[in-house]
Structure 1
Amino acid sequence: MKKKSEILVKTFDLFINQVIEYIKSYYDDYSEFYEKLSYFSAQSFKFLTWKNIIDVLNMIDIDDLDKDKLYSEFYDIKSLYYNLKTKNIKLNDQIKSYFSSKTNEFRASNFTNQNFVHDNSDSNDEGTISLSNKKDEDFIKSHELWAYILNTSPNATPNFKKMICYIFSIPCSNSFVESIFSNMKHCWNDYRNRMDIELISSELKIRMNSNYYCNQFYKRILTETQLLKQIRQNAKY
Structure 2
Amino acid sequence: MLQIREIRKLALALQFFTPETGVVNRILDFIENPDESAQGIVKLIQSSLENMGLSLDQVSAFSADNANVSYGIHNSVFTKLKETNKEILRGNCHAHIVHNTVKKALDMLSVDVENIVLKIYSFFSTSAKRRESLREFCEFCDVDFHDILRHVVMRWLSLNPAITRLLQNWDPLKLYLISIGQECPRHLKELLKLTEDAAGVEGEADIVEVYLLFCNNIMCLFEEVVKKLEKNDTTSVALYSIMDCFLKRLIQRRDDGFYRNLTRQKLQRLLPSDAEVARQEFTVFRDTALCYVRKWFDFSEQNWLFHLQPLSLSSGKILFDVMENIIEQLHLVGRLNISMDELYDECVTATSLLEHLTKGPQEKEKWQSKGTAEKWMEILQAADLPNIQPVVSIVLIIPSSTGFAERIFSLMKNKWTDVQNKCSTEFIRCELIVTLNYVMSCSEVYSAVLKDKQLLNAARSQKK
The interval holding the TM-score normalised by the smaller chain is 0.5 to 0.7
User: Is 1:16 matched with 2:245?
Assistant: no
Select which of 156, 160, 166 maps to 2:394. Answer: 166
- Rounded to whole Å, the distance in 1 between the matches of 2:423 and 2:460 is 19
Question: Aligned in 2, Cα 1:77/1:58: closer, same or farther, shift over 3 Å?
Answer: closer
Cα-to-partner distance string for 1:5-43 (whole Å, 9 max, x where unaligned):
42333223212222233334444437754343232234x
Q: List, as ranges, runs of 4+ consecutive aligned residues in structure 1 with deviation greater than 6 Å.
A: none
Percent identity reads 20
User: Is 1:141 matched with 2:371?
Assistant: yes
Question: Aligned in 2, Cα 1:26/1:76: closer, same or farther, shift over 3 Å?
Answer: same
Moved more, 181-190 or 8-17: 181-190
Unaligned runs of 5+ in 1: 92-132
- Rounded to whole Å, the distance in 1 between the matches of 2:287 and 2:384 is 55
- Rounded to whole Å, the distance in 2 between the matches of 1:234 and 1:84 is 58
Larger RCO: Structure 1 or Structure 2 (Cα < 8 Å, ≥ 6 residues apart)? 2
User: Is 1:196 matched with 2:431?
Assistant: no
Tell me the CA shift for residue 72 of structure 1: 1.1
RMSD, matched Cα: 3.9
Select which of 309, 312, 325 maps to 1:38. Answer: 309
Q: Secondary structure at the match of 1:64?
A: helix
Select which of 448, 451, 460 maps to 1:223. Answer: 451
Aligned ranges 1:74-85 → 2 under 5 Å: 75-76=345-346, 79=349, 82-83=352-353
- Rounded to whole Å, the distance in 2 between the matches of 1:181 and 1:175 is 10
Tell me the CA shift for residue 48 of structure 1: 2.0
Show the counterpart of 1:178.
406
Tell me the CA shift for residue 52 of structure 1: 1.6
Letter in 2 for 1:41: S
User: Is 1:51 matched with 2:321?
Assistant: yes
> Residue 41 of structure 1 contacts residue 142 of structure 1 at CA under 8 Å; is this kept in 2?
yes
- Rounded to whole Å, the distance in 1 between the matches of 2:450 and 2:348 is 43
Tell me the CA shift for residue 170 of structure 1: 0.9
> Residue 74 of structure 1 contacts residue 160 of structure 1 at CA under 8 Å; is this kept in 2?
no
Show the counterpart of 1:126.
none
- Rounded to whole Å, the distance in 2 between the matches of 1:30 and 1:172 is 18
Q: Which has the higher helix share?
A: 1
Q: Secondary structure at the match of 1:58?
A: helix
Q: Secondary structure at the match of 1:211?
A: coil
Tell me the CA shift for residue 178 of structure 1: 1.4
TM-score after normalising by structure 1: 0.57
- Rounded to whole Å, the distance in 2 between the matches of 1:27 and 1:169 is 20
Question: Aligned in 2, Cα 1:29/1:222: closer, same or farther, shift over 3 Å?
Answer: farther
- Rounded to whole Å, the distance in 2 between the matches of 1:50 and 1:204 is 43
